[in-house]
Amino acid sequence: MSNARISSSPKEFNTQITRMNARLQALAPTSPPPPGTPIYYFTYYGLSSTNGSDFNNKYLFWSTPLTGLYAQYNNPVTSSSTVKNQVKTWIKNFRAFADPLLNIIAASPNATTDDEAIFNLVLNINRKHPTHTHTKIVDACFTDWTGSGGGNMKAGSRSTTDTKRHSLAEGADGVQYAYMILNDTPENIANNIATAVAANLAATNARTANPSLPAPIPVPLPLAPPQHPDDGANQEFFSGATHQFTFGASNKGKYLYTWSRWYNSKHPEIAGDWNARQVELIN
């Protein structure tokens, strides 16, 4: 994403993220009337529900009155050098997060010239296209994860044509990651779900047989592992073949569920296929 799309100035960035999120969370023109299922602009553009909620959550973290990061930055009492550095880093990370999403919007057949102003981009149909064509990235993405303690994990990717070092596949300028952090392995979570389901069924059957028993309190089911990259996983793009993730010490000992694929931030339509799900222990 070019620097012209999203400003690094906190004041200008605040205006941009507010304008963008308001559009994404608004009802699209094709949304059916109640009680139909609403269609929001983020879906209208081709973004996933996870993309839409992630954008909104980041907006709330930034803009919530009094407690949001921008409010802390603007308040002379709380605007310390630490907060200012946090703002600078946060905007940088947000730009990396928003880059693939803005590219999808730019390529969407439903986007209009109004969206060019709202999202500060140029629609693909209005660009001067080069004469050469772009083809889908065919190389598989192999990603290995190494931990350095404290919840820090480094991802390094290589293609089928480079077996010795981390390097980008032809046509890619970075890697898109999909990830979720859970407390246990897939096998243990499956066993815990089965145990909870069995306990709930037994309690229900017991009360059916003896209605005088108090209503059972359901045993909560643990969150099931994601089965594909769009199954509730966070999706982020980072340039280059390697990236250092800081998940925090609180996630040490938990399990990282990930997918990755080669990605071209300027031409998201040629992104490679997602690799198979990986599960890594965060150390």
Q: What is the pLDDT of residues 156-188, one digit of tens each?
A: 999 987 777 999 999 999 999 999 999 999 999
Residue 8 has pLDDT above 50, yes or no: yes
How far from each other are the two terminal CA atoms of the chain, in whole angstroms? 32
Strands 255-263 vs 174-182: parallel, antiparallel or unpaired: antiparallel
8 Å CB contact between 103 and 266: yes
Beta-carbon contacts of residue 177 (< 8 Å; ≥ 6 apart): 155, 235, 236, 237, 238, 243, 258, 259, 260
CB atoms within 10 A of CB 61: 14
Amino acid at 247: F
The mean pLDDT value of the chain amounts to: 92
Helix axes 10-24, 49-63, angle to 10 degrees: 140
pLDDT of 128 reads 64
Residue 199 has pLDDT above 80, yes or no: yes
Q: How far is CA 246 from the centre of its chain?
A: 15
pLDDT digits (tens, 9 = 90+) for 108-160: 999 999 999 999 999 988 776 555 557 899 999 999 999 989 999 999 999 98
CB atoms within 10 A of CB 49: 12
Residue 265 has pLDDT above 90, yes or no: yes
Q: H or E segment at 281?
A: strand 278-281
